[in-house]
Amino acid sequence: MPTFEIGESDFLLDGRPHQVISGALHYFRVHPDQWADRIRKARLMGLNTIETYVAWNFHAPERGRFDLDGRRDLGRFLDLVAAEGLHAIVRPGPYICAEWDGGGLPGWLLADPDVGVRRHEPRYLAAIEQYYDQLLPLVAQRQVTRGGPVVAVQVENEYGAYGDDHDYLRALIAMVRDRGIEVPLLSCDQADDTMQARGSVPELHRTVTFGSRAAEKLGLLRRHQPTGPLMCMEFWNGWFDSWGQHHHVAPPETNAQDLDDLLAMGASVNLYMFHGGTNFGLTNGANDKGTYLPITTSYDYDAPLAEDGTPTAKYHAMREVIGRYAPVPDEVPAERAPAPEREVLLDRRLPLADAVGVLGDAAAHDHLPTTDELGHWSGFTLYRTRVTAEDRVLTLAEVRDRAVVALDGEPVGVLSRTEHGRTLPLPARDGELTLLVEDQGRVNYGPRIGEPKGLVGPARTATRELTAWETVPLRLDELEPAVAALLADAPVADPAAPVAGPAFLRGTVDTVAGADHFLRTDGFGKGLAWVNGFPLGRYWSAGPTATLYVPGPVLRDGGNEVVLLELHGAAEARVRFVAGPDLGSSEV
């Protein structure tokens, strides 16, 4: 059978030196009907390997559940990699960062404050064992040593930036090996002496992450690892976007020159990203280095293959460089054709308040609970309490992450973690105070990994602490059939009339089946969007992203249903499908 090993200075494929030229492609950020297309375009760029993270919480959204079907069918994804004649590197964490919700760690696991995060702690390790039990057999049977595509598996991820518990790393290594993984095991850390020292052990082959100055960064790696192949596991050829910030762009010619420098040294590489894809639904993560910044729905990453799978100038520049070091097919992927343009009149409206009863179950509390206490791991939660004319002001210890506040249904204001806002004046009257709290994405990097979400008490007014609360966790990961039914039965509304949120809006449109679309929500404030029940993700007028990508497999010829949950309002109830993406203003 084939072999893949660590040699004195090279990777060895069947005993011969082999330069890994890989690209990151996350199956969980791509519609499964488009996996084959994206993998094929990787081969056409000259890549010989596909790398993917595995997001633990994507497969295990709740305790006791593990899903490997549909969008979560990692086995099918790896089989498609093999069918294209490529190898695979699998990075199952348990922590992955990846600008993904919680860095891939399940909220339900870390809701127990006694569980040790990313360290040698029995409950944490026991949960990882269960995760590996369910995941690693499908990886093991697809190793190159058994005729499959998988040539390497990474243990943990950039651990040196977080901790230095080498007993923890060795426990993970033992778990992986005990579950049949025979191929080389890798670690991955930034090109930093301290991180390299903290983040790996001799049982792991070290790799490094960087985006430029290859000779310098690979020299640092060589000091920490005197023998074996040099590899940049994340060659940063772009960057992610955060809401309210610029769209990041890296010059193709600069990326191409840096890649040339790296490959000329004989080093192996994994482009991060080759194809970024999309944070569909509620899956985006967030960073907090003093200011909380949630990641946008688009994970285009300014990658060689754009969010919709079309080649960019960077694709062609890097393809030319790769052709100097490895065979590149003659075929070139087609350029983007204009997408169908349609106007969608959202002529059905349903106030969110009228749908709360079918979205979740109310519970009473004698204190202010976090959403983790409620067992609600993402999205929206409604908090309710009574206030009096004497209360006059609401102040909270912390809001995670954004709350739309109303008194008897009338808007009062917004509390925003990003804006460090946690206090609002209240109208001087008795009434029901509601806070529609949005978890905008769990922190995916740094010491705030694993923190609880929702409202953090105490909650105080001018006169007292508010302790009597009712909560309703809202099921919005998918479009609830009961909500769709209520919308279908709602009376027809004039799309030209202004929209008052929070409210669901629905419209239908005929278009081209199977064609990619781009949805613009100009004039709307903030919310979620679905097409034919598929969760496109969050939109927000804060930008930079101005369009949502709609994968072609979601669309049919007639009667396509577009649904928005708008939190604030709009001048009219119209959205548009436009010819191409608009990822916002950029900085170079």
Residues 6+ apart with CB under 8 A from 203: 170, 173, 185
**Count of CB atoms situated within 10 Å of the CB of 14:** 11
Angle, CA 520 vertex, CA 517 and CA 525 arms, to 5°: 145
- Are the beta carbons of 372 and 111 closer than 8 angstroms? yes
Annotated catalytic residue 478: no
* Cα-Cα-Cα-Cα dihedral sign, residues 506, 507, 511, 517: negative
What SS3 string covers 179-246? CCCCCCEEEEEECCHHHHHHCCCCCCEEEEEECCCHHHHHHHHHHHCCCCCCEEEEEECCCCCECCCC
Query: What are the phi and psi torsion angles at 441 (to 5°)?
Result: 130, 130
Catalytic residue, candidates 158, 438, 561, 566: 158
Q: Is 161 exposed, middle or buried (0-12, 13-18, 19+ CB in 10 A)?
A: middle
Taking 3-state DSSP, the helix, strand and coil percentages for the chain, each rounded to the nearest 5, stand at 25, 30, 45
What does each C-alpha distance from 540 to 402, 416, 583 come to in angstroms?
Answer: 13, 14, 12
Pairing of strands 21-25, 49-53: parallel
CA distance 546 to 298: 10
- Are the beta carbons of 53 and 98 closer than 8 angstroms? yes
CA distance 487 to 354: 10
CA distance 107 to 376: 9
User: Is residue 342 helix, strand or coil?
Assistant: strand
Strands, DSSP E only, in 366-491?
Answer: 379-387, 393-400, 402-407, 410-416, 423-425, 431-439, 454-460, 469-474
- Are the beta carbons of 212 and 258 closer than 8 angstroms? yes
- Are the beta carbons of 205 and 184 closer than 8 angstroms? yes
Catalytic residue, candidates 234, 307, 451, 566: 234
Query: What are the phi and psi torsion angles at 40 (to 5°)?
Result: -60, -40
Annotated catalytic residue 158: yes
**Count of CB atoms situated within 10 Å of the CB of 80:** 22
Active site residues: 158, 234
